[in-house]
Every structure is written in C-alpha cells, then in structure tokens.
Chains A and B, each alone.
Chain A
Amino acid sequence: MRGHVIDPSPTPQGAAAPATNVTRAGDVRAMAARRRRRLLGLAAVLALLVVACLLSVAVGAKQIPLDNVWHALFQPTGTEDDVVVRSLRLPRTLLGLVAGIALGVAGALMQGHTRNPLADPGLLGVTYGAAFTVVLGIYALGVTSLYGYVWFGFVGALLASVGVFLLGSVGRGGPTPVTLALAGAAMSNLLYALTAVVVLLDSQALDVYRFWKVGAIAGRDPDLVVQVLPFLVVGLVVALANAPGMNALALGEDVARSLGHRVGLTRGLGIAAITLLTGATVAVCGPIGFIGLVVPHVARLVVGADYRWILPYSGLLGATLLLLADVAGRVVARPGELQVGIMLAVVGVPFFIVMVRRRKLVRL
C-alpha cells in the first residue's frame, strides 16, 4: 500500500487532468455495475413478491382452480369462488402485503438506529403498548368490535413509543441507542405485567388477547387496511427520507454531524417512522415477530451497507416472507389453518439459525 503513494512532486493542475479522466471512467463504470446489480436484484425481489401475492390469492382451504382465480380477479360474476377470492383472499393478501412491507422497513430502521443487529421493531415497547390498551379497552370500556380495538391498539403503540423516547432522552446526551433500548425493555416489561393483570381479571379480555397475541392477517375487515393505510404511507415516506441520515449515523454520531447531518432530527424522524409502521401493523394484525429481525439481514447480504437500498429491499422481502409464511400456514394444516405469526416462528427460526451459522451477524 505504501508503495503507490501518490505522485510526490507538486503536480500542476493541468498535468493531473488526463489521469483524472481515465480513472474517473473506470470508477464510474464500477459504480454503474454495482448500481445495475442492485437494480436487477430489486427486480428479482419484486418478481418474487408478485409470485407470493399470486400464491396467496390462489391457495387456501378451499381449492379453487387457477382459471377460476383469474376469473374472480378480472371478470367476477359473483360465483362462490369469486366471493371467496374477492372478499377473503384479496383483502388478506393486501393486508399481508402492507404489513410485510411495514415490518420489514421498520426492522431495518430499528437495527440501523440502534446499531444492534438483534433489534426488532418491537424494541420501543410498541407491541406491549398495543397489547395493554387492547385488553384495557375490552376490560374497562367493554369494547368488543375489531374496529374498537384496532384504534385502541394504535394509540397504545404510539403512547408506548413516545414514552420510551422520552424516558430514553432523560439525562445528558439525549436519546442514544443504549438508553432507548433500555427504556424500551423496561417499558415493555411494565406493560406486559399490566396486561397480565387485566387478562387475569377479565376472561373476555383474555379470549381476545389470546387470538390477537398470535398475530394474523386473516379475517380482518378490508376497511381496516384502508384506515391504517395513511399512517403506513406516511411512515414509509419518512423512512425513505431517513435513509441518507441513517447512512451517516452508521459512521458514528461525530462523523454524521461533521458531514452536516442533524443527528437529533434524523433519530427523531427514524423513531417516528418506526412507530407509525409498527404501531399500525401491530394494531391490525397483532404482534408478528421475526420479519423485522430477519429481513434486514437478508437485505444487507444482497446490497451491503447502504440504507437507501436496504430499506426498499427489506420492505419487499418482508412482504414476500409474510405472504409465503401465510400461504404455508394454510397448506400445512388443511382444512384448518395456522396463523401466520406461528408459521413465521416455525419457518423463521431454522432459517435464522442457518443464517447466523453461515455468516456471522454483521457489525452495524
């Protein structure tokens, strides 16, 4: 390395120019090649997602021939198959799609902001915040409809996240990855305990909680998806805008600041995005684990350390994984079904172990 120390003589500007052009061409070519690879990969992931969506529409407890699925999607006439596809499978697939994207992106954000490869979107107490308000709504206010508890869950998720952020910001230096993780763990444990108290007191709350806790995308009203969609869209936009700042934060706070990034703002926006994405998803689907943990690692394997690429990849891979796990859950226990939350744990854990063994988790 020391041999090729640049030209030691004071080079006049003119003499340096030709060399610059040559090297620039080579450099630009290498960068273009990497960019093309990433775009091709993105196209491949997108294709995989389309396949997952089609499977999710085509496969289920009721066996529907493919041409009937097609018929239901594009020229519905109200046959029984049409009704099943359009009113059950399509909303379920759409919910799986948005929930998977949200959880994948939120996971990548969380791991990036905490610089912790084992962080998942639930780290800020969002999951238990939602759980607590859901059971509280049932117990104290007698909420029974799904609508009721979705909004309760969402508010709980937001409050828990804000609480963790404030708790983690107390003291000098403001919110840091460590204080946030500690505050999140403390808040989660507290809310978990409170949730346990409520479900002990109220068996109706326990019944709802049991099913909510597993995490599923089946049987949700299509309107719910529409209602939480704005929050998810805002969350995604904020997340993508957050990518350059996360790239800088990955080099350390001092470097980020000296490159002209506003560290507090970047971190605040990141947490806002995580809260919106995870909170909305948890409220509708219940806690669906694993996607936020695993998917960013897969994305990093493909694209390296650039969050402008990691985030889109994580979103698409998250949706793909969620839908495939959901489809698998419908197939393994026919004519019954396994909830996607259970399926993900069953499929996901061995996958994760293989990944950890094959390649050490990356340092963030």
Chain B
Amino acid sequence: MTAVSAVNSGGIVRSGSDEARLRAEALRLAYGENVVVDGLDLDVLDGTVTAVIGPNGCGKSTLLRALGRLLGPQGGQVLLDGKRIDRMSTKEVARILGVLPQAPQAPEGLTVADLVARGRHPHQRWYRQWSSDDETAVAEALRKTGMLEFAERTLDQLSGGQRQRAWISMALAQGTDLLLLDEPTTYLDLAHQVDVLDLVQQLHAELGRTVVMVLHDLNLAARYADRLVAMRDGKIVAEGAPGDVLTEQLLRDVFDLDARVVPDPVAGTPLVVPIGSRHRT
C-alpha cells in the first residue's frame, strides 16, 4: 500500500502512512445466529480518512461497531496498537478511540457545554473529576467546531447540523487519535452534510486524526475520504483511493446500480451519476 498524499482545494495537505493502529483480522460478526460479517480483514491506515460504503444491510455499521469495541467478535479479532481490543479496558480504549453512533440521542435540557464535558470521562479519575486539562479540552473542542457561542444552549434548541457539530465536539474533547463516525450526515440537508464533512476534514487536516466513517452519499465519500472501503454482504469488495475504487463496474457489483462515473467538476474525484429506468436506453 503506498502512502496517500493529495492536495485539496483549500490547500490542506492530506497524507497518510502505511501504519495501522487499528486493524481487523478474519473478523466474524453476528447478531445471535445471524452472521453479518465473515472473514473480514481491514487495516485502518493512520492519518487517513476512510469512508465505508455499501448497500443497506451490508454490515458497514456492524463493522464500525466492532472496530469501536461496541460489539464483540464471534471470530477473528480487532487489534488496537497490536492488542486485542476486547481484552483492553473500556477506559483504555476510550482514550485512543472515539465512536459516534448514528443519530445519537441526548436527554432534553442538556447544554452543549455539558455534552462536550462528558467526553472527558476517559481522562478522569474518581478522585479527580474535573481538572484544568478538562476545562481546556472542552473549550478547545467547542472552539474548533465553532460551537463556542452555543455552549450554553440546550441541544434541543439547535438545528440538526449544529447538533451534529455538538456531538463531534464531544468526540473531539475525548481527545482520541482515532475517530469512528457512523453516518455523521444522517437526517441533514445537503448544505449541512457538506458543513459536517468539512468539519471532519478540518479535524483530520489540523489535528491529524484518523477517521473512519460510514457514509451513504458516494459523491461526498469520494470527495472527503482518502480511502474508500466498499462492502457487500459482509465482505470487502474493493478498497483504495476513491478514483480506483469508485468505478462503473464496482457500482454494478456492489449496489446493482447502473451509473456513469464522471470526474467531479469541482474536486476532480469520481462523481456517480445513476442512470435509472427512466433514462435507460
């Protein structure tokens, strides 16, 4: 695997390496009898943004949960820094790796500042609940996501996009090198989707976070990810740079979709134009 290096329109250098702190080996995941993922190997390359794509029910979210230690494997293993993640303590994992589930729910009346402060738990001890480090990390996370002016608002007073920013702030305050996001753009309109992904990109570029996210929008995935992982039926069909992965053949194989793939006029990344029966000739 060669090092990924690209320059995006904002002039931010994206880079990655061959190292993988987080990897899955011969992973088998199941809910009860229902096997969702079987024999899956994946290296999450450090310093890259990886987007996992695939049709509904292909096991992308399940894979993400396993990578984040939310789901124990039935076979194989997930390794974090060479150690089996299911044998590490919850707190130890939480200091290295943060997970944001899809459409997380917050109790009513919770302020943004309180939410973000809860991200500090892995760094706290029972005898030392709140330190100046925590204070700094929370303020910093709020500033980085542009949520500082909303710190005292409650989550229910925010728009969907702002709310997602608040959750990302929480994950940021957690201060982990790796960040797993399960469909961070769910329920957001296109403008807010771009807004959230810009934020993810920025965290990656400025803080060097390694990001794995499940995304439904292929065009946005191609734009914002250094690497794409395409899944179908619990297996990885293709992985690599978006330009290599996102081909017309792959869309047929993975999504059963007839589509044209053209260069994105803005980013130059692949742009998927589905054909559909109305325009099929």
Contact = CB atoms under 8 A, between A and B. Distances in A.
Contacts of B122: 259-260
B9 to A, nearest CB: 10
A300 B151 contact: no
Nearest to B123: A260
B3 interface: no
Contact of B104 (A27, A28, A34, A252): A252
Contacts of B165: 1
A236 B22 CA distance: 41
Contact of B146 (A6, A259, A363): A6
A174 to B, nearest CB: 13
Contacts of A30: 113, 151-152
Contact of A304 (B111, B142, B174, B192): B111
Given A5-B199, A10-B205, A300-B109, A24 B135 contact: yes
Given A304-B110, A362-B107, A363-B107, A258 B142 contact: no
Contacts of A250: 106-107, 110
Interface in A231-261: 241, 244, 247-248, 250-252, 254-255, 257-261
Interface residues of B, number: 65
B252 interface: no
Interface string A315-355: 00000000000000000000000000000000000000000
Interface in A6-56: 6, 8-11, 19-20, 23-24, 26-28, 30-31, 34
Contacts, number: 140
B174 A259 contact: yes
A323 B189 CA distance: 53
Contacts of B138: 27
Interface stretch (B37-45, B93-101, B221-229, B253-261): B93-101
A321 to B, nearest CB: 21
Given A34-B152, A257-B69, A364-B107, A8 B10 contact: yes
B135 A2 contact: no
A194 interface: no
A62 interface: no
A1 B162 contact: yes
A358 interface: no
Given A6-B145, A304-B109, A27 B139 contact: yes
A357 interface: no
B90 A262 contact: yes
Which among A11, A251, A362, A364 has the greatest number of chain B C-beta atoms within 10 A? A251
Given A20-B143, A24-B139, A305-B111, 18 more contacts: A6-B146, A20-B139, A30-B151, A31-B113, A252-B101, A254-B65, A254-B70, A254-B99, A254-B101, A259-B118, A260-B92, A260-B93, A260-B94, A261-B121, A300-B109, A305-B106, A305-B109, A306-B110
What are the 10 A-B residue pairs with the smallest beta carbon separation, nearest first? A260-B94, A258-B99, A260-B91, A260-B122, A305-B110, A362-B108, A254-B101, A250-B107, A24-B139, A304-B109
Interface of A: 1-2, 4-6, 8-11, 19-20, 23-24, 26-28, 30-31, 34, 115, 172, 241, 244, 247-248, 250-252, 254-255, 257-262, 300, 304-306, 362-364
11 contacts: A8-B202, A27-B142, A241-B126, A248-B118, A251-B104, A252-B105, A255-B99, A257-B90, A260-B90, A304-B114, A364-B107
